[in-house]
Structure 1
Amino acid sequence: MKRRYQINGISCGGCVARVKKTLEGHPDIEKTEIFLAPKGATIITMKEKLSIENIQKQLNELEGYTITEII
């Protein structure tokens, strides 16, 4: 299941790598694609739909990033 999100705080390739590694550390997230154009646009492929709160909790391992769902 693929869902689209916006991650605020992404500014460079290093951010992309850190956030991707952190999100893919969640057992229900299979793949994360983060783009720099437009900055922070994200597609997350997951085994089962996770709530935005659940994804933000995983993202909170890093400082300075917030996630919102694109409907």
Structure 2
Amino acid sequence: MKQKFAIEGLSCEHCVARVEKAVSELPGVQKVKVHLKKKNGVVKFDETQTSTESIIETVKETGYEASLLK
């Protein structure tokens, strides 16, 4: 599954790397790409191993706000 998330609070490439690293460590996550200028991220993951809620919670744990984009 591929899902897009809005991510608020990103201000630099360090922020991007921090979010990408944290989300990539979740089980079943295959690819993470966060866009600083667009303030969003795309995550490709196996929905049998992790959920959109887990991804959002992980982003919040790194200090940023996240929500699902349709």
TM-score computed with the length of structure 2 as normaliser: 0.82
Identical columns (%): 31
- Larger helix percent: 2
Q: Does 1:43 align with 2:42?
A: yes
- The number of equivalent residue pairs is 68
Extract unaligned runs of 5+ from structure 2: none
Moved beyond 3 Å, runs of 4+ = none
**Alignment RMSD, CA only?**
1.5
Shift of 1:47: 0.9
Aligned to 2:26, the other structure's residue is in SS state coil
Opposite residue 12 of structure 1, the aligned amino acid is C
